[in-house]
């Protein structure tokens, strides 16, 4: 069979022969979308110069420096986020994205704002996981005025100057957690709800929707006032331990924020029969969560699919940089995964 020629490629792609030749010669005056279309066509027809086309596209590809402000370097969950973000940046085919990842351990608004501003000054765009606070909003505004897009990641920000949000539908997540607990509990009882900080929009929305579902579909259950763990496992341990000691009515726990290792420690301290009667739903998955699932202590973890979420985040940031004019905030909702002891 005769191998495809440049003329064959040009005809199949609907471009001129000179356009294909310009790409092969390394010319920079071919639109990226056109070059990518020719590359896909070359792959489709088995064009012999596919490798040269891919090399030239990569050589002429735009270059981005992307900053990511994550939390708590000691938590494996955020380390996992960082690894997946790096992987998403390194795996891009038609542009170069260099990730600059910073972890914030002191979660005060002042410290987060300072670190966010420093990161933004050295990057084309930044992604942020942080509680919603006016001081952080001011920094988002300042970076926007500098032409540095800020993308809220996992939990949204109220600052209107943010470029985008990438995360799950937290209203659906909270109602799903309530559905799971209520379907497994036929008798009356109480549910404890724990969040890291009420300023995390993702946690506050999930808690509100959790209550909404219980009111609507499970009137035999009551939901306690939400308690804040400040994302600290030791605090979570003390709060859950004291709750379980104070009453035998607890049939469910919704852990919407950080500190799951402390919750698991408190459950391990009660008799086996007692903890079997407590349905625990948590968010996102790390080593402690996997261990809790394998032990049967956790009923389900509602998680971001980290690989896909990271790819969407990186693409969203690059799109924000490439957009020259003003635009409304973009929302990219990534469906969450439900992990149970049976599919972990």
Residue 104 DSSP SS3: strand
* 169-191: pLDDT as tens digits: 999 999 999 999 999 998 999 99
At 325, is the pLDDT very low, low, confident or very high (cuts 50, 70, 90)? Answer: low
Distance CA 199, CA 9 (A): 55
Distance CA 122, CA 112 (A): 16
Q: Are the C-beta atoms of 285 and 273 separated by less than 8 Å?
A: no
> Any idea where the domains of the chain sit in the sequence?
6-59, 64-168+306-335, 170-303
Distance CA 171, CA 322 (A): 31
At 1, is the pLDDT very low, low, confident or very high (cuts 50, 70, 90)? Answer: low
Kindly indicate whether the domain formed by 64-168+306-335 is annotated with CATH number 3.40.50.2300: yes
24 Cβ partners below 8 Å, 6+ apart?
6, 49, 52, 53, 56
* 267-304: pLDDT as tens digits: 999 999 999 999 999 998 888 999 999 999 999 999 99
Range of lowest pLDDT (3-7, 267-271, 316-320, 325-329): 325-329
Q: Among candidates 314, 336, 342, which has minimal Cα distance to 149?
A: 314
Residue 165: beta bridge partners? 152, 331
Six token digits for residue 238: 């003390």
Prediction pTM value = 0.84
* 125-174: pLDDT as tens digits: 999 999 999 999 999 999 999 999 999 999 999 999 999 999 999 999 99
pLDDT at residue 176 in the model: 98
Q: What is the average pLDDT score of the chain?
A: 93
Give the torsion sign (CA, 6, 11, 15, 17).
positive
Instruction: Compute the average pLDDT of residues 219-242.
Output: 95
Q: Is the pLDDT score of 221 beyond 70?
A: yes
Six token digits for residue 76: 């494996």
Residue 338: beta bridge partners? 302
Q: Are the C-beta atoms of 172 and 208 separated by less than 8 Å?
A: no
CATH code of 170-303, in short, is 3.40.50.2300
Q: Are the C-beta atoms of 94 and 62 separated by less than 8 Å?
A: no
Beta carbons within 10 angstroms of residue 158's beta carbon: 14
């Amino acid at each position: 069979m005769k191998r495809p020629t440049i003329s064959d490629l040009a005809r199949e792609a609907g471009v001129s022969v000179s356009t294909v030749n310009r790409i092969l010669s390394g010319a920079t005056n071919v639109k990226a979308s056109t070059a990518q279309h020719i590359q896909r066509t070359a792959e489709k027809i088995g064009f012999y110069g596919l490798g040269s086309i891919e090399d030239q596209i990569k050589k002429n590809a735009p270059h981005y420096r992307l900053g990511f402000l994550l939390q708590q370097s000691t938590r494996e969950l955020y380390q996992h986020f960082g690894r997946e973000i790096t992987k998403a940046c390194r795996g891009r085919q038609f542009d170069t994205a260099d990730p600059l990842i910073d972890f914030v351990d002191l979660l005060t608004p002042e410290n987060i704002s300072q670190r966010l501003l420093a990161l933004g000054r050295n990057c084309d765009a930044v992604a942020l996981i942080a509680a919603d606070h006016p001081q952080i909003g001011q920094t988002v505004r300042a970076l926007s005025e500098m032409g540095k897009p800020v993308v809220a990641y996992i939990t949204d920000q109220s600052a209107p100057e943010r470029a985008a949000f990438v995360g799950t539908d937290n209203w659906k997540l909270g109602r799903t957690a309530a559905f799971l607990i209520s379907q497994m509990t036929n008798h009356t009882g109480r549910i404890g709800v724990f969040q890291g900080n009420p300023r995390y929009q993702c946690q506050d929305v999930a808690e509100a929707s959790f209550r909404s579902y219980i009111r609507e579909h499970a009137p035999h259950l009551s939901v306690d006032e939400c308690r804040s763990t400040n994302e600290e496992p030791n605090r979570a341990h003390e709060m859950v331990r004291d709750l379980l000691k104070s009453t035998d009515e607890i049939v469910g726990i919704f852990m919407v924020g950080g500190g799951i290792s402390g919750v698991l420690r408190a459950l391990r301290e009660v008799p086996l029969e007692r903890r079997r009667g407590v349905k625990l739903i948590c968010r996102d998955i790390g080593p402690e969560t996997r261990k809790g699932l394998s032990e049967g202590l956790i009923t389900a973890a509602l998680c971001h699919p980290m690989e896909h979420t990271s790819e969407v985040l990186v693409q969203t940031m690059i799109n924000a940089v490439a957009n020259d004019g003003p635009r409304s905030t973009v929302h990219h909702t990534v469906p969450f995964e439900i992990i149970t002891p049976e599919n972990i």
